[in-house]
Amino acid sequence: MTRQTVYVVQTYNPGKGNRLKADPPIPCKSADAALRTAERLAETKCGVIAFSSSGDAELGDYDDEPIIIFKTGRLPPQFDD
Tens-place pLDDT, residues 13-63: 998 888 999 999 999 999 999 999 999 999 999 999 999 999 887 777 877
- The arithmetic mean of pLDDT across residues 61-77, rounded, is 89
Domain ranges of the chain: 4-75
Where is pLDDT greater, at 77 or 59?
A: 77
The span from the CA of 46 to the CA of 66, in Å, is 21
pTM above 0.85, yes or no: yes
At residue 38's C-alpha, the angle toward residues 45 and 34, to 5°, is: 150
Among candidates 19, 23, 9, 27, which has minimal Cα distance to 72? 9
Q: Where do the DSSP E strands lie in 24-80?
A: 26-28, 47-56, 61-62, 67-73
What pLDDT is attached to residue 31?
Answer: 97
Model confidence at 81, pLDDT cuts 50, 70, 90, reads low
The span from the CA of 70 to the CA of 20, in Å, is 18
